[in-house]
Chain A
Protein backbone atom coordinates (compact mmCIF):
# COMPACT_ATOMS: atom_id res chain seq x y z
CA UNK A 1 0.00 0.00 0.00
CA UNK A 2 1.30 3.45 -0.86
CA UNK A 3 0.81 6.49 1.34
CA UNK A 4 0.86 8.89 -1.60
CA UNK A 5 -1.30 12.01 -1.36
CA UNK A 6 -2.99 13.84 -4.23
CA UNK A 7 -3.05 17.53 -3.40
CA UNK A 8 -5.08 20.21 -5.16
CA UNK A 9 -4.03 23.73 -4.27
CA UNK A 10 -4.96 27.23 -5.35
CA UNK A 11 -2.63 30.20 -5.54
CA UNK A 12 -4.73 33.36 -5.87
CA UNK A 13 -1.77 35.66 -6.49
CA UNK A 14 1.17 34.50 -8.60
CA UNK A 15 3.41 37.25 -9.93
CA UNK A 16 5.85 34.75 -11.47
CA UNK A 17 3.30 33.37 -13.94
CA UNK A 18 2.58 35.86 -16.75
CA UNK A 19 -0.40 33.81 -17.95
CA UNK A 20 -2.59 34.45 -14.91
CA UNK A 21 -3.33 38.00 -16.09
CA UNK A 22 -4.80 36.67 -19.35
CA UNK A 23 -7.53 34.79 -17.48
CA UNK A 24 -8.76 37.64 -15.28
CA UNK A 25 -11.23 38.63 -17.97
CA UNK A 26 -10.42 35.91 -20.52
CA UNK A 27 -11.18 32.18 -20.79
CA UNK A 28 -9.43 29.66 -18.51
CA UNK A 29 -6.22 27.91 -19.53
CA UNK A 30 -6.40 24.16 -19.03
CA UNK A 31 -3.13 23.08 -20.54
CA UNK A 32 0.29 24.25 -19.43
CA UNK A 33 3.53 22.30 -19.61
CA UNK A 34 7.12 23.29 -18.94
CA UNK A 35 10.54 22.08 -20.00
CA UNK A 36 14.16 22.86 -19.22
CA UNK A 37 17.24 22.52 -21.40
CA UNK A 38 20.92 22.02 -20.64
CA UNK A 39 21.81 24.74 -23.15
CA UNK A 40 19.92 27.42 -21.22
CA UNK A 41 19.54 26.20 -17.63
CA UNK A 42 18.54 29.64 -16.40
CA UNK A 43 15.38 29.65 -18.50
CA UNK A 44 12.22 27.59 -18.72
CA UNK A 45 10.16 26.99 -21.83
CA UNK A 46 6.42 27.13 -21.23
CA UNK A 47 3.85 25.73 -23.62
CA UNK A 48 0.16 26.49 -23.26
CA UNK A 49 -2.98 26.04 -25.30
CA UNK A 50 -4.96 29.26 -25.47
CA UNK A 51 -8.40 30.04 -26.76
CA UNK A 52 -8.17 32.15 -29.92
CA UNK A 53 -10.25 34.83 -28.18
CA UNK A 54 -7.30 35.54 -25.85
CA UNK A 55 -5.58 38.84 -26.47
CA UNK A 56 -1.87 38.10 -26.28
CA UNK A 57 0.45 40.72 -24.81
CA UNK A 58 3.59 41.36 -26.85
CA UNK A 59 5.67 41.39 -23.67
CA UNK A 60 5.51 37.62 -23.28
CA UNK A 61 6.90 36.77 -26.74
CA UNK A 62 4.56 33.97 -27.74
CA UNK A 63 5.51 31.66 -30.61
CA UNK A 64 2.68 29.77 -32.26
CA UNK A 65 3.48 26.05 -32.45
CA UNK A 66 0.18 24.39 -33.41
CA UNK A 67 -3.23 25.48 -34.62
CA UNK A 68 -6.17 23.48 -33.20
CA UNK A 69 -8.82 25.61 -34.89
CA UNK A 70 -10.54 27.41 -32.02
CA UNK A 71 -7.44 27.06 -29.85
CA UNK A 72 -3.74 27.47 -30.49
CA UNK A 73 -0.67 26.04 -28.80
CA UNK A 74 1.91 28.69 -27.96
CA UNK A 75 5.39 28.52 -26.55
CA UNK A 76 7.45 31.13 -24.77
CA UNK A 77 10.63 31.27 -22.75
CA UNK A 78 11.09 33.03 -19.43
CA UNK A 79 13.75 33.23 -16.74
CA UNK A 80 13.49 30.68 -13.97
CA UNK A 81 12.61 31.97 -10.53
CA UNK A 82 13.10 30.34 -7.15
CA UNK A 83 9.75 31.85 -6.25
CA UNK A 84 7.92 29.98 -9.00
CA UNK A 85 5.38 27.58 -7.48
CA UNK A 86 6.36 25.02 -10.12
CA UNK A 87 10.01 25.23 -9.07
CA UNK A 88 9.11 24.99 -5.38
CA UNK A 89 7.11 21.80 -5.98
CA UNK A 90 9.64 20.28 -8.38
CA UNK A 91 12.48 20.90 -5.91
CA UNK A 92 10.99 18.07 -3.86
CA UNK A 93 11.20 15.67 -6.80
CA UNK A 94 7.49 16.08 -7.41
CA UNK A 95 6.21 17.10 -10.85
CA UNK A 96 3.09 19.22 -11.21
CA UNK A 97 0.48 16.84 -12.57
CA UNK A 98 -2.22 19.32 -13.60
CA UNK A 99 -2.30 23.07 -14.11
CA UNK A 100 -5.39 25.21 -14.54
CA UNK A 101 -5.39 29.00 -14.66
CA UNK A 102 -8.78 30.57 -14.08
CA UNK A 103 -9.94 34.04 -12.99
CA UNK A 104 -6.34 35.07 -12.49
CA UNK A 105 -5.72 32.20 -10.06
CA UNK A 106 -3.36 29.26 -10.46
CA UNK A 107 -4.75 25.82 -9.61
CA UNK A 108 -2.14 23.06 -9.28
CA UNK A 109 -2.43 19.34 -8.63
CA UNK A 110 0.49 17.17 -7.58
CA UNK A 111 1.10 13.80 -5.98
CA UNK A 112 3.24 13.91 -2.85
CA UNK A 113 4.88 10.59 -2.09
CA UNK A 114 4.03 10.87 1.61
CA UNK A 115 2.91 13.29 4.32
CA UNK A 116 6.38 14.73 5.15
CA UNK A 117 6.91 15.55 1.47
CA UNK A 118 3.48 17.20 1.29
CA UNK A 119 4.21 19.29 4.39
CA UNK A 120 7.62 20.34 3.01
CA UNK A 121 6.05 21.45 -0.27
CA UNK A 122 3.27 23.40 1.47
CA UNK A 123 5.78 25.06 3.84
CA UNK A 124 7.95 26.05 0.88
CA UNK A 125 5.00 27.49 -1.02
CA UNK A 126 3.69 29.41 1.99
CA UNK A 127 7.03 31.21 2.32
CA UNK A 128 6.13 33.03 -0.91
CA UNK A 129 2.38 32.56 -1.26
CA UNK A 130 0.83 33.39 2.09
CA UNK A 131 -2.65 33.20 0.58
CA UNK A 132 -2.10 29.58 -0.52
CA UNK A 133 -5.29 27.54 -0.35
CA UNK A 134 -5.17 23.76 0.06
CA UNK A 135 -8.41 22.75 -1.58
CA UNK A 136 -8.46 18.98 -1.63
CA UNK A 137 -6.35 16.12 -0.28
CA UNK A 138 -6.85 12.49 -1.22
CA UNK A 139 -4.74 9.66 0.14
CA UNK A 140 -4.18 6.28 -1.45
CA UNK A 141 -6.20 3.81 0.56
CA UNK A 142 -6.07 0.55 -1.34
CA UNK A 143 -5.99 -2.40 1.02
CA UNK A 144 -4.42 -5.74 0.22
CA UNK A 145 -7.50 -7.13 -1.53
CA UNK A 146 -7.83 -4.03 -3.74
CA UNK A 147 -4.19 -3.93 -4.67
CA UNK A 148 -4.05 -7.52 -5.93
CA UNK A 149 -5.37 -6.55 -9.33
CA UNK A 150 -5.04 -8.52 -12.56
CA UNK A 151 -6.09 -7.86 -16.11
CA UNK A 152 -8.40 -10.31 -17.85
CA UNK A 153 -8.57 -10.15 -21.62
CA UNK A 154 -12.21 -10.84 -22.43
CA UNK A 155 -11.39 -11.00 -26.12
CA UNK A 156 -9.93 -14.46 -25.51
CA UNK A 157 -13.55 -15.66 -25.25
CA UNK A 158 -15.45 -16.36 -28.44
CA UNK A 159 -18.77 -14.60 -29.01
CA UNK A 160 -20.59 -17.85 -28.27
CA UNK A 161 -18.64 -18.44 -25.06
CA UNK A 162 -19.44 -14.92 -23.86
CA UNK A 163 -23.12 -15.40 -24.66
CA UNK A 164 -23.20 -18.70 -22.77
CA UNK A 165 -21.37 -17.21 -19.81
CA UNK A 166 -23.59 -14.12 -19.67
CA UNK A 167 -26.80 -16.11 -19.89
CA UNK A 168 -25.68 -18.60 -17.25
CA UNK A 169 -24.67 -15.78 -14.94
CA UNK A 170 -27.89 -13.82 -15.45
CA UNK A 171 -30.04 -16.92 -14.86
CA UNK A 172 -28.28 -17.63 -11.58
CA UNK A 173 -26.39 -20.73 -12.69
CA UNK A 174 -23.42 -19.72 -10.52
CA UNK A 175 -25.40 -18.86 -7.38
CA UNK A 176 -25.94 -21.23 -4.49
CA UNK A 177 -28.54 -22.57 -4.55
CA UNK A 178 -28.64 -22.37 -8.35
CA UNK A 179 -31.19 -20.07 -9.92
CA UNK A 180 -31.16 -22.31 -13.00
CA UNK A 181 -29.60 -25.67 -13.85
CA UNK A 182 -27.59 -26.56 -16.95
CA UNK A 183 -30.63 -27.88 -18.79
CA UNK A 184 -32.60 -24.67 -18.20
CA UNK A 185 -29.76 -22.40 -19.33
CA UNK A 186 -29.17 -24.58 -22.38
CA UNK A 187 -32.87 -24.41 -23.25
CA UNK A 188 -32.80 -20.65 -22.91
CA UNK A 189 -29.89 -20.54 -25.34
CA UNK A 190 -31.54 -23.02 -27.70
CA UNK A 191 -28.65 -25.49 -27.52
CA UNK A 192 -28.09 -29.00 -26.18
CA UNK A 193 -27.06 -29.34 -22.58
CA UNK A 194 -23.81 -31.02 -23.66
CA UNK A 195 -23.03 -28.11 -25.98
CA UNK A 196 -23.72 -25.68 -23.13
CA UNK A 197 -21.39 -27.47 -20.77
CA UNK A 198 -18.66 -27.59 -23.43
CA UNK A 199 -18.88 -23.86 -24.09
CA UNK A 200 -19.04 -23.10 -20.38
CA UNK A 201 -16.07 -25.29 -19.56
CA UNK A 202 -14.00 -23.66 -22.32
CA UNK A 203 -14.88 -20.15 -21.09
CA UNK A 204 -14.17 -21.00 -17.47
CA UNK A 205 -10.86 -22.60 -18.40
CA UNK A 206 -9.74 -19.41 -20.18
CA UNK A 207 -10.82 -17.04 -17.42
CA UNK A 208 -9.57 -19.16 -14.55
CA UNK A 209 -6.31 -19.66 -16.45
CA UNK A 210 -5.76 -15.89 -16.41
CA UNK A 211 -6.38 -15.71 -12.68
CA UNK A 212 -4.36 -18.77 -11.70
CA UNK A 213 -1.41 -17.81 -13.92
CA UNK A 214 -1.32 -14.36 -12.29
CA UNK A 215 -1.11 -15.65 -8.72
Chain B
Protein backbone atom coordinates (compact mmCIF):
# COMPACT_ATOMS: atom_id res chain seq x y z
CA UNK B 1 0.00 0.00 0.00
CA UNK B 2 1.57 3.34 -0.98
CA UNK B 3 2.22 5.83 1.83
CA UNK B 4 -0.41 8.50 2.28
CA UNK B 5 0.58 11.91 0.96
CA UNK B 6 0.36 14.70 3.49
CA UNK B 7 -0.40 18.31 2.67
CA UNK B 8 -0.10 21.68 4.30
CA UNK B 9 -3.39 23.52 4.08
CA UNK B 10 -3.39 27.29 4.44
CA UNK B 11 -6.89 28.74 4.48
CA UNK B 12 -6.95 31.87 2.29
CA UNK B 13 -9.79 33.26 4.42
CA UNK B 14 -8.97 32.63 8.08
CA UNK B 15 -5.24 32.06 7.63
CA UNK B 16 -5.17 28.80 9.61
CA UNK B 17 -2.50 26.32 8.65
CA UNK B 18 -3.23 22.60 9.13
CA UNK B 19 -1.41 19.42 8.15
CA UNK B 20 -3.75 16.98 6.37
CA UNK B 21 -3.76 13.60 4.71
CA UNK B 22 -5.24 12.87 1.28
CA UNK B 23 -8.68 11.96 2.58
CA UNK B 24 -8.96 15.09 4.70
CA UNK B 25 -7.79 17.24 1.80
CA UNK B 26 -10.58 15.83 -0.36
CA UNK B 27 -13.08 16.54 2.42
CA UNK B 28 -11.97 20.17 2.72
CA UNK B 29 -12.14 20.72 -1.04
CA UNK B 30 -15.73 19.46 -0.91
CA UNK B 31 -16.89 21.13 2.28
CA UNK B 32 -14.62 24.11 2.92
CA UNK B 33 -12.23 25.06 5.70
CA UNK B 34 -12.87 23.05 8.83
CA UNK B 35 -12.39 26.14 10.99
CA UNK B 36 -14.11 29.02 9.14
CA UNK B 37 -16.20 27.06 6.65
CA UNK B 38 -15.14 29.16 3.66
CA UNK B 39 -14.72 27.36 0.33
CA UNK B 40 -11.19 26.34 -0.62
CA UNK B 41 -9.52 25.28 -3.85
CA UNK B 42 -6.53 23.10 -4.72
CA UNK B 43 -4.26 26.15 -4.55
CA UNK B 44 -4.63 26.19 -0.76
CA UNK B 45 -2.71 22.90 -0.45
CA UNK B 46 1.02 22.27 -0.62
CA UNK B 47 2.39 18.72 -0.64
CA UNK B 48 4.63 17.99 2.32
CA UNK B 49 7.76 15.96 1.80
CA UNK B 50 8.91 13.87 4.71
CA UNK B 51 12.54 12.76 4.82
CA UNK B 52 11.68 9.09 5.34
CA UNK B 53 9.49 8.86 2.24
CA UNK B 54 12.14 9.90 -0.25
Q: Which residues of A contact B (CB under 8 A)?
A: 5, 115, 118-119, 122, 126, 133-141, 146
Q: Which residues of B contact A126 (CB under 8 A)?
A: 35
Number of residues of chain B lying within 8 A (CB) of chain A: 15
Do A139 and B16 contact each other (CB < 8 Å), given the known contacts A115-B34, A122-B34, A122-B35?
no
Cβ-defined contact, A135 with B19, below 8 A: yes
From B16, which residue of chain A is reached at the shortest CB distance?
A: A134
* Cα-based distance from A139 to B27 in the complex (angstroms): 9
B4 at the interface (CB under 8 A from A): yes
Seed contacts A136-B18, A139-B27; 11 additional CB < 8 Å A-B pairs: A115-B34, A136-B19, A137-B20, A138-B20, A138-B23, A138-B24, A139-B23, A139-B24, A141-B21, A141-B22, A146-B1
Cβ-defined contact, B18 with A115, below 8 A: no
Number of A-B contacts (CB under 8 A): 40
* Cα-based distance from A141 to B27 in the complex (angstroms): 11
Partner of B34, one of A118, A133, A141: A118
Q: Which of B1-54 contact A (CB under 8 A)?
A: 1, 4, 16, 18-24, 27, 31, 34-35, 37
* Cα-based distance from A159 to B19 in the complex (angstroms): 46
From B11, which residue of chain A is reached at the shortest CB distance?
A: A134
Q: Which residues of B contact A134 (CB under 8 A)?
A: 16, 18, 34-35
Do A141 and B23 contact each other (CB < 8 Å), given the known contacts A118-B34, A122-B34?
yes
Q: Is the interface of B mostly helix, strand, loop or mixed?
A: mixed
Cβ-defined contact, A119 with B22, below 8 A: no
Q: Which residues of B contact A138 (CB under 8 A)?
A: 20-21, 23-24
From A145, which residue of chain B is reached at the shortest CB distance?
A: B1
* Cα-based distance from A183 to B37 in the complex (angstroms): 66
Q: Which 6 A-B pairs have the closest CB atoms?
A: A141-B23, A139-B23, A139-B24, A136-B19, A137-B24, A138-B21
Q: Which residues of B contact A136 (CB under 8 A)?
A: 18-20
Q: Which residues of B contact A137 (CB under 8 A)?
A: 18-21, 24, 34
Cβ-defined contact, B18 with A119, below 8 A: no
* Cα-based distance from A192 to B21 in the complex (angstroms): 52
* Cα-based distance from A167 to B16 in the complex (angstroms): 54
Query: Chain A's nearest CB lies how many Å from the CB of B45?
Result: 12
Do A115 and B31 contact each other (CB < 8 Å), given the known contacts A134-B18, A138-B24?
yes
